[in-house]
Amino acid sequence: MRVVRNLNECGSETAFRQALSLIREEESFLVAAHVDPDGDCVGSMLAVASFLKNIGKRADCFIPGEVPEKYSEIPGMEERLSEDQVAPEDYDVIFTVDVPTLERVGNIFDPREVKEVINIDHHPTNGRFGSVNIVREDASSTAILVYYLLSGYGDGTITPRIADYLYLGVVMDTGCFRFSNTDAESLEVAARLVRLGARAPEIAREFYHMKSASAVKLLGLVLNRLKFHGEGRIAVMELTSSMLYECGARVEDTEGFIDFGTAIEGVELVAFLREIEPEMTRVSLRSLDDHDVSALAEKYGGGGHTNAAGLMIGLSLDKTEELIRGSLREMLERSD
Ligand SMILES: [Mn+2]
């Protein structure tokens, strides 16, 4: 049985130690998230920033671009800086949280032109661009790694509010403890966070389960158009711009739709295609078991994890559907 590893056993003892000494020695920190931030990214960012402030440091948060509405109202988010307000070279340390590549953080800084970068992440595609890299691919969420880091600083660093932030990260990245990355470590860290004051049922409902009325209508349309291939082992979902418009829904309302595909008995591979422009389609991929969708995503310039990945293709929705359907069929054939 795998047990929670403590800080020293976390696979990158040196990185944790270096990060902690930077935290002790330096004064000003910029905590940066990735574009289209998810719950893990937002929760990890707010946890780090809130902790730094609690120990008397100067800490600002930065997210490139828009933030989904449900995350924008979390306490702490109102202080985040936008691209035109942020001056990365003014800080002693830049923390990147859940950020695999500099492109994902909007290229707001060049690692050679800033003092220190602490890169804390769990993406297999992480570019190790930091002066300190706390990167563990087998961690279910970045929030878990932040939990270790903050606990390593000393007792009492994780306030109930910080526990909420970190719990949000674990919940969203494990699909409320259902995805294949849900392991003993995730559950044990979650239990510790609940003991430290995280409001488990409220967070699961507010951020994971609850949807707006227009989102549910849109889900109905998407499910209506769901198609199966490969004897029911592949499910393809599609969303056109006009479907969004028809329901008065926003793109962020589609978060979690793809999980309805993986919930279907017999389905092993799911693609969710979203029309961005007439010749631009966003593809989200999910797989069960050993099917590696990150390899497919990387082939087209995307990335992700074995069982969850994404990419953008400069093709129409129909052309993309053809291409992805073919690739998924091949993936099944190879595995048989
Ligand atoms: Mn994450």
**Token digits of residue 55:** 């120990």
Q: What is the mean pLDDT of residues 256-267?
A: 95
Distance of CA 285 from the midpoint of ligand 1 (Å):
16
pLDDT tens-digit map of 109-132? 999 999 999 999 999 889 999 999
Q: What is the pTM of this model?
A: 0.86
Q: What is the mean pLDDT of residues 165-182?
A: 95
CA distance 169 to 330: 34
Distance of CA 142 from the midpoint of ligand 1 (Å):
5
Distance of CA 242 from the midpoint of ligand 1 (Å):
30
Q: Which of 162-166, 178-182, 234-238 has the lowest mean pLDDT?
A: 178-182
* Nearest by Cα to 105 from 53, 164, 61: 61
Q: Counting beta carbons within 10 angstroms of the beta carbon of residue 14, is it exposed (0 to 12), middle (13 to 18) or buried (19 or more)?
A: exposed
Q: Cβ–Cβ contacts within 10 Å for residue 220, how many?
A: 10
pLDDT tens-digit map of 42-54? 999 999 999 999 9
Distance of CA 212 from the midpoint of ligand 1 (Å):
24
Distance of CA 147 from the midpoint of ligand 1 (Å):
13
What structural domains and CATH numbers belong to the chain?
Answer: 7-208 (3.90.1640.10), 213-335 (3.10.310.30)
Distance of CA 14 from the midpoint of ligand 1 (Å):
22
Give me the pLDDT at residue 12, please.
Answer: 72
Q: What is the mean pLDDT of residues 66-86?
A: 95
Distance of CA 98 from the midpoint of ligand 1 (Å):
5
The total number of residues shown for the chain amounts to 336
Terminal C-alpha separation, the chain:
30
Give me the pLDDT at residue 5, please.
Answer: 44
Q: What percent of the chain has pLDDT over 90?
A: 91
CA-to-CA separations, 333 to 49, 56, 222, 238, 327, in angstroms, rounded: 47, 57, 27, 23, 10
Distance of CA 206 from the midpoint of ligand 1 (Å):
19
**Token digits of residue 71:** 């995350």
Q: What is the mean pLDDT of residues 273-291?
A: 95
CA distance 284 to 302: 10
Distance of CA 37 from the midpoint of ligand 1 (Å):
9
**Token digits of residue 85:** 């307000």
Distance of CA 246 from the midpoint of ligand 1 (Å):
31
Distance of CA 173 from the midpoint of ligand 1 (Å):
6
Distance of CA 137 from the midpoint of ligand 1 (Å):
10
pLDDT band at residue 304 using 50, 70 and 90 as cut-offs: confident
